[in-house]
């Protein structure tokens, strides 16, 4: 369903937006997350379950709520991006972006010519309400789409300033777990090397005037990351939340 992007509106007005990762590819669960009051739902096409059909059903479920439907693609690939954009996602998380050229390619894959290289089929796509909103969809020139490259490697940190400077990038998102593994310190979020990398990424995004995206890691309270400039904030994922709730109900 084509509509104004609630999350992007919050972010551009300087307000934080809070979301949850949906890994189960189960429409009622996706709908529940949106109804709970989160600003966005990340449908996880990288590590989560489901295929295009299930993901479409989840997008339709989220559309019944005020929440924005964000999709994490499996790779920075123009075909994958084209497919989910035509399904009508309202934002894309693009993993493992390590250079400005990769960020530029991601942005180009999300925009129609002459601004980008996205293949055109708006009259047949759910993104344009199955042809009912083609003119309105094309008139916004992609301004309602939230584009969020993820920096998850030491190489990405080295190029963070150049990535953040790419026109069309809205959010610079840190991938803390993959970054810690790439640095050779898996899960050590208090390690000096990890902390230095985070500081470098934060400085790059803030200097470029881009929105910082991330998660409150152990030892970092929500107020702390808000003060450091984060606005696109993911507060967890459905699977561990459900697992924790279930285990907590087992007697003894």
Residue 51: band (very low, low, confident or very high) from pLDDT cuts 50, 70, 90? very high
8, 89, 12, 98: which is closest to 44 by C-alpha?
89
Per-residue pLDDT, 104: 98
Per-residue pLDDT, 221: 83
Q: How many CB atoms lie within 10 A of CB 114?
A: 6
pLDDT of 31 above 80? yes
In angstroms, the Cα distances linking 142 to 39, 90, 145 are: 20, 10, 5
Beta-sheet pairing, 91-94 with 211-214: unpaired
User: What's the mean pLDDT in 101-130?
Assistant: 96
Domain ranges of the chain: 6-142+217-248
Q: How high does pLDDT run on average in the chain? A: 96
Catalytic residue, candidates 6, 47, 55, 191: 47
pLDDT of 218 above 90? no
Q: In this structure, which CATH number among 3.60.10.10, 3.20.20.60, 3.30.70.3400, 3.40.640.10 belongs to the domain 6-142+217-248?
A: 3.20.20.60
Contact 161, 172 (CB under 8 A): no
- Top mean pLDDT of 84-98, 138-152, 221-235 is at 84-98
Per-residue pLDDT, 141: 79
Q: What percentage of the chain reaches a pLDDT higher than 70?
A: 100
Per-residue pLDDT, 142: 85
Per-residue pLDDT, 58: 98
User: What's the mean pLDDT in 80-97?
Assistant: 97
User: What's the mean pLDDT in 16-33?
Assistant: 98
Per-residue pLDDT, 92: 98
pLDDT digits (tens, 9 = 90+) for 231-243: 999 999 999 999 9
pLDDT of 219 above 90? no
Residue 169: band (very low, low, confident or very high) from pLDDT cuts 50, 70, 90? very high
249, 152, 164, 251: which is closest to 202 by C-alpha?
164
pLDDT of 40 above 80? yes
Per-residue pLDDT, 140: 85
Is 47 annotated as catalytic?
yes
């Amino acid at each position: 369903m084509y509509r104004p992007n609630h999350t992007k509106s919050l972010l551009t007005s300087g307000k934080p937006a809070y979301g949850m990762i949906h890994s189960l590819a189960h429409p009622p669960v996706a709908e529940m997350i949106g109804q709970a009051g989160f600003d966005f739902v990340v449908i996880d096409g990288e590590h989560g379950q489901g295929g295009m059909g299930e993901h479409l059903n989840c997008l339709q479920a989220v559309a019944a709520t005020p929440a924005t439907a964000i999709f994490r693609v499996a790779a920075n690939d123009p075909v994958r991006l084209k497919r989910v954009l035509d399904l009508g996602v309202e934002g894309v998380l693009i993993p493992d972006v390590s250079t400005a050229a990769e960020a530029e390619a991601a942005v180009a894959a999300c925009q129609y010519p002459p601004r980008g290289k996205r293949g055109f089929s708006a009259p047949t796509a759910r993104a344009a309400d199955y042809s009912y909103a083609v003119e309105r969809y094309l008139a916004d020139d992609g301004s309602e789409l939230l584009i969020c490259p993820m920096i998850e490697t030491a190489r990405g940190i080295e190029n963070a300033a150049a990535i953040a400077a790419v026109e069309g990038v809205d959010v610079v998102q840190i991938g803390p777990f993959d970054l810690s593994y790439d640095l050779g310190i898996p899960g050590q979020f208090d390690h000096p090397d990890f902390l230095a990398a985070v500081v470098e990424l934060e400085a790059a995004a803030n200097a470029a005037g881009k929105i910082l995206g991330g998660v409150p890691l152990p030892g970092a309270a929500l107020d702390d990351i808000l003060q450091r400039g984060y606005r696109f904030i993911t507060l967890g994922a459905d699977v561990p939340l459900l697992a924790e709730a279930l285990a907590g109900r087992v007697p003894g």
